[in-house]
Each structure stands twice: as structure tokens, then as C-alpha cells.
Chain A
Amino acid sequence: MLDFENILVLTQKELYDARRNRWFMLYAVAFTGLALGLAYMALSGAGNYGLAGFGRTSASLINLVLLIVPLMGLTLGALSLAGEREKGTLMYLMAQPISQAELLLGKFVGLSLALIAALGIGFGLTAFAIALNGGSAEIDTYLILMGFAVVLAVASLSLGFLISAAVQRGSTAIGLALFLWLLLVFFGDLGLMGTALVLQLDVQQLFLAALVNPLQLFKIAAISGIRSNLEVLGPAGVYAFRTYGSALLPLLLGLLLLWVIIPLLLATYLFKKRGVL
């Protein structure tokens, strides 16, 4: 059985460690800086027309989240168990009276909170920039965007944990995480585009195939939250909106949550099987 007090203690330790993790700090600073820069550029251009160009800001933020957030989650997750395993600290931790599932869950919750904090600082400071530029009526869409970014971060962290539980060395884990990142961000979409062009996929097939990728789930969900329809995504978007209507957003969120739960369960299974070595 899971002891939640153990998990809480491990969560605190993980949060404390995150502050000393240079990768984490680098990602947090990079994300905040880029988000601020994008918001400033989008808004200073828009300011010339006397309007709040948040539609544009959110579009660039979607792009930024798609690039950086999976990278944060995957690499931090990949390093978590494999890194400690390589250093030998994992053995020390497991010498404590805690179960493997407790250790994994504690680490996962702790790192998730750290990621949420990083995103919170990024989105919070960007909101400052938007406020200074006269703001915009669309704060609810900004919150939706941030909410989905958090779920995406946790989902990619979960995938990172899966890698971490499966391999022995930190460098292998990082390599695999980077490859998975490339796959999700670039090759998956490129392959699907090529397939669509060659096989003349119809919009239904294309849309369903795209839903396999958690990044597409995030993107489609964020856009449908911001725009309240999917016409911007062309025929496939219109198809999705007509077919699923108001069920679309819960559906996408549910699928994204599956990307959190399933890799985590698999990681727990693998970690139990492999042990601390």
C-alpha cells in the first residue's frame, strides 16, 4: 500500500532538489525569457493599431510551449531515476523503508510541481508584460492555454519517467528522451503530413491519426479553447468541431490525461521489475 506521508516527504525532497538542478533552472529561465520576448514582440506590434493582439501572443505561446515544454518534461523525467541510479543515490533512497511505487510517485509529484512552478513563473511574468501593454479581455483563454500547457508538461514528464525506469545509464536516458522529443515535435507530424499527401487520407483519418501525438492533442485543445471553434485548422478542424462539438475539449483533455497515467503505470511496473540497479 502507498504511504502518503512518505510520498509527501519525497515530494518535498524533489522540489528542493529541483532548485539545485541546473537543467531545470535553465529550462525555467529559457521558457520565461522566450515567453516574455514573444509577448513583448506580439504586443508592441499590436499596440500600433490600438488593439490587444493577444490572439497573436497566444499563437506564438502555443509554438513555444510545443517546442520547450516537452523538452523540459522528457529530459527531467529521464534524468530522475536513471540519474540517481547512476550516482548510486537511488540505492541509498531505497534502503529507506519505502516502496518503489512510493518513491516513483513522490519523485513524479515533486517534479510535476516544480514544472508547474516554472510554467507559472513564465506565464505569470508574461501576464505582467501583457498587463503593462494594456491587457486584453481574453484572460480566460490565457488560463486555458496555461492549463493545457501544465497537462502537457506532466504528460511528457510521465513519458520521461518511463524512459528513466527502463534504462540503466543517465546518458542513455537523455539520448532516448531527446530522440522521443524529436519524434513528437518534428518527425511524427512530418511523417503524418507525408502520409496524408501520398495516401490521400480523408479528414477523419487525418484527424484521428493526429490525435495519437500528445503535442497535437495539446495544440488542438489550446486552439479550440482560445478560438471556441477549429476553423483555423481547416477542413480537419471543421470536421472535428462538427463531429464532436462541445465534447471535443473534454475528449482531448481525457486523451492527454491518458498520456499521463499509462506511461506512469508502465514506469512503475518496469521500476519494480528492474529494481535499483
Chain B
Amino acid sequence: MVKTVLGKLLLGLLLVVLVFVGFSTALAQDEGSAVTVSAENLPQAIADAKPGDAIEVTGGIFTGHLDIDKPVTLIGIDWPVIDGENNGTVVNLTAPGITMRGFIIRNSGQVLDQENSGIAIQAADITIENNRFENTLFGVYAKNGHNAVIRNNVITSKDLDLPRRGDPIRIWYSQDVLIEGNEITKGRDVVLWYSERVTVRDNEVSDGRYGLHFMYCDDATIEYNTLLDNSVGAFFMYSRRVTVQHNTIAGNRGPSGYGVGMKDMDDAIIRENIFLDNRVGVHLDTSPREVDSFGRYDGNVFAYNDIGVGMMPSVRRNEFSNNSFVDNEEQVAVGGGGQLKGNIWSVNGQGNYWSDYAGYDADDDGTGDLVYKSDRLFENLMQREPSLRLFLYSPATNAIDFSAKAFPIVRPQPKVEDEFPLMTPQIPTEAPQMPQATGETWFIFAVVFTAMALALVLLPRLTRKRYIFPQPETQA
């Protein structure tokens, strides 16, 4: 009896001691020693630092290249500058656990095949946060940088022709990376290759070539991003189980011009995104690839694109439900013609909204009573002869469609049949809002032009007494 009580007491004491020791060592590690230096003295400060130290850098400009090979935390205050003098990579991070926060990284070299970067990550657990990248060819380049966090940075490339710029962010063989809240503009591609479980959230990527470019990236999550005015919004290739949700993807109109392009993608889920004013909203090529896999498109808006969803003729096993197809020049297009028979356009009695649906909803259940068929004759002709696209917007195209309605003998086979078309569009609420313009200049224009036009009509009335032909000189 006594023995057991004593035993418990001893055990309790041991636990208390262990916890205390644990705490104190943790505290000791956390504190480290915080040094405060100016940017010019950074290399010395890093050389002097012990692993786990924090170095506060208060302003200043460090010119040259920085190699950090121990786990330290660099905190920039008043935007200290690291300037690579237009030569090579500016900052090399070669030890795991480094954090860099609040720096301006500028002037890398511009040799593309050496991948001159602002920051090169070559180890795991590195955090790059709140930095600005100016005139760097590549921004952040992570190779084998597992668990990297790249957050709230502002990244541009050099002012070069598009193909000669570098990638604002490149993730290469790096698992579990988080890319969040970055503002990326005028780069080439944000590249994520051979990296699993990447999360890309809340970023804005604009005026680049490929907004996001994924290859061999299984289990990636892409959400709440704005992909604006790139050549291609996001291109996904050879990956499985990718989730793309709540993104706004607009104005991507380059040579490929896809909002989202899918090539050999299995089990992808594309949910509640807004695809706006792209050349092609979503482009599908051999996706899904494997027999037992699927592609799921639910609750997206495809509005004002030249083509809402474009598919290659052999694409099948995709499910479309609750999407809204609003005024795309072509709602669904098939490259080279065909019928898209193997795809499902309604799931469990939930179809999609089609702005060109001409049916009715007599029983008032929100679902149209007639099947929606996409069978415009002019679209069919365009697929046979793509150069006829030259006549887009021409009233003659409406005449052709009208004739196909009047004379069913020339009506083509429908590309898409939706048995449960929705009567009202469904708008995703969580995707980022597009920037709003103000109407002021429009008001000025409207007032000026209406006034000028009215003046043109009224002026002759006011000057009517001039309405006499001058007398010929011979009579004078």
C-alpha cells in the first residue's frame, strides 16, 4: 500500500521535473539571441549566428550574394534591400528551417538556363514571407524544398519579352508546399512540377504566360485565387485528385487562351469557379485518362467566353452539374466536330443553366421541361471549317441558325443534351470579386456626346435666318 503511494508520488515528481525541463529548453530555443544589424552587415551576422537565432535587419542595402546555410530567422524592418547586381541568384537557402520576412530582393542575373532567381530554396521547412521581388528573373525557386511556405510576397520578373522572362515561383520536386496570398504579375509561368499535395490559395496571378502550370502534382488544392489576363489561366497535366475551387479566372486570351486547361487529368474536381471572358473557359484533352476515373464540374459559372467548355472529341466520363453557361459565343465546342456522347450533363436530376435555353418550366420546379440541345448550325459549320469563325457576330450567322430551326433537315446532331436544364443561373459566392471600375468617365462621355448630338439637331433651327442663298455676283 505505502509502497504504491510512494511509487505514484515519485512518478508524479518525475513527470513534473520532465515537464519543467522540457519547457525551459523550449523557452531557451525560442528566445535564441535576437541580433539587430543593418543590411550591409548581414553576412557577418549570419556567420556569427547559432542555429535558431533570429536576426533583425533594420533597413540598408546589402550588395552581393547571400548564402544562408544554417536555420536562422531573418526579419526585415523598414524594407532592407538585398541587391544581386544583375548577376546570378541573389539569395541561396541551403539549410532547413530558414525564415525570411520583410526584404526587398532585387536585380538577379538574367540567364534563363541557369535559372537566376531572387531566392533559391534548396532545403525543407523554409518560409518566405512578406518579401518584395524586383527585377529578378525567377522569383522563388524551390528545389527539394518540402513543406516550404511562400506567403504574401509581391513578385514580378524582369522587363523582357514574355518567353525570356523567368518564373515568379517555381516548385520542383517539393512536397506539401503552401503558396498563399502572393501578388504575382508580369512573370512567365508559375510552375509546379513533380510536387505532391501543393496548396495554392488566395494568390493573384496576372499578365503572365501560364498563370499556374502543374505537371505530375497529385492531390493539389487550388482555391480562392484570381488568375487574370494571362495567356493561360492554369494548365494541369498528368496529375490525379486535383481540386480547383472558388477561383476567379478571367481574361486569359493568349495563343492558347484557356481559363483552365486539363490534359491527362484523373479524378479532378472543378467546383464553384468563375470563368469569365477567356478565349476558352475550360479546355479538356484526354481528361480523365484512366477508365475508372472521372472529372467533376459542379457549380461553376462560364460567362462571356468565346467558348465556355471546349473538348476534344474523344473526351468522356466528365460530369457537369449546376454550372451556369452564360452568353458564351459558343457554350460548348468540340474540336473537329463530334457529339460528346460519353459525358454526363446532369447528375441526379441536376443539370446546368444555359442562357440560350428556349424551353419553359410549366411545373415550376426550377428545371426546364424540355431537353436542352446544343445544336446551332453555324457552330457545326465552324467545327467543320474553322476559318468560318471570321463571320462571328455577323447577322448572317443568325440567319443560318434560324434556317436550321425552320428546316430541321439541315439541323445538326446536338453536341450536348441536358435533360434537366436549370432555369436560373447559380452564382458562386466565395470566389474573389473582380475589380470594379467607376462610372465617372462614362458619365462625362455620355453627357458630352448626348449634348453634342442634340446641338447638331437644334443648331440649324437657331440659325435658320441664314437660310437664304447668296446672290450671284452677276446680278450685283
Contact = CB atoms under 8 A, between A and B. Distances in A.
Interface of A: 3, 5-6, 9, 12-13, 15-16, 18-19, 42, 45-46, 48-53, 55-56, 59, 62-63, 66-67, 96-98, 113-114, 116-121, 123-125, 127-128, 130-137, 139, 142-143, 185-186, 188-190, 192-193, 196-197, 201-203, 206-207, 210, 215-216, 219, 223, 227, 229, 231-237
B450 A120 contact: yes
Contacts of A203: 387
B453 A124 contact: yes
B437 A236 contact: no
Contact of A233 (B301, B389, B467): B389
Nearest to A210: B390
Given A134-B437, A219-B393, A234-B388, A121 B466 contact: no
Contacts of B393: 59, 62-63, 66, 219, 223
Interface residues of chain A: helix, strand, loop or mixed (majority): helix
B408 interface: no
Contact of B466 (A12, A97, A234): A12
A266 to B, nearest CB: 26
A242 to B, nearest CB: 11
Interface stretch (B42-50, B82-90, B394-402): B394-402
Given A50-B434, A63-B393, A124-B449, A18 B304 contact: no
Given A137-B437, A185-B396, A223-B393, A232 B306 contact: yes
Contacts of B246: none
A13 B461 CA distance: 9
B196 interface: no
B470 A196 contact: no
B304 A135 contact: no
Contact of B460 (A16, A127, A196): A16
B162 to A, nearest CB: 14
Given A116-B456, A136-B442, A97 B472 contact: yes
B386 interface: yes
B85 to A, nearest CB: 37
Given A12-B466, A137-B437, A120 B394 contact: no
A202 B389 CA distance: 13
Contacts of B443: 127-128, 131, 135
B261 to A, nearest CB: 16
B276 A135 contact: no
Contacts of B468: 9
Contacts of A210: 390-391
A215 B394 contact: yes
A193 B388 contact: yes
B463 interface: yes
Interface residues of B, number: 70
Contact of A67 (B255, B329, B395): B395
B446 A125 contact: yes
A128 B450 contact: yes
Nearest to B451: A124
Contacts of B471: 97
B19 interface: no
Given A67-B395, A189-B391, A236-B390, A121 B453 contact: yes
B337 interface: no
A185 B397 CA distance: 10
A121 B450 contact: yes
A261 B90 CA distance: 63
Given A117-B456, A231-B279, A124 B446 contact: yes
B469 A15 contact: no
A198 to B, nearest CB: 10
Given A49-B303, A135-B437, A135-B440, A116 B453 contact: yes
Contacts of A97: 469, 471-472
Contacts of A136: 437, 442
B392 A233 contact: yes
Given A50-B434, A189-B394, A235 B389 contact: yes
B437 A52 contact: yes
B33 interface: no
A18 B453 CA distance: 13
Nearest to B458: A19
A9 B469 contact: yes
Interface string B375-413: 000000110111111111111110110000000000000
Contacts of B395: 63, 66-67, 185-186, 189
A118 B454 CA distance: 9
Contacts of B445: 124, 127, 131, 139, 142-143
Given A12-B463, A12-B466, A132 B389 contact: no
Interface string B113-154: 000000000000000000000000000000000000000000
B150 to A, nearest CB: 28
B442 A130 contact: yes
Contacts of B382: 234
B406 to A, nearest CB: 15
5 contacts: A49-B274, A49-B434, A134-B436, A189-B396, A235-B389
Interface in B407-441: 425, 427, 433-434, 436-441
Given A15-B460, A185-B395, A135 B441 contact: yes
Nearest to A5: B470
Contacts of A131: 439-440, 442-443, 445-446
A56 B250 CA distance: 14
B435 to A, nearest CB: 8
Given A9-B467, A52-B436, A130-B439, A18 B390 contact: no
A232 B443 CA distance: 30
Contact of B390 (A49, A56, A234): A234
Chain B CB within 10 A, most for which of A16, A51, A186, A188: A51
Contacts of B257: 231
A196 B304 contact: no
B264 interface: no
A190 B395 CA distance: 10
B396 A98 contact: no
Contacts of A139: 441-442, 445
A18 B384 CA distance: 47
B326 A45 contact: yes
Contacts of A49: 274, 276, 301, 303, 427, 434
Given A120-B452, A131-B439, A12 B467 contact: yes
Nearest to A146: B449
Contact of B449 (A15, A123, A229, A235): A123
B253 interface: yes
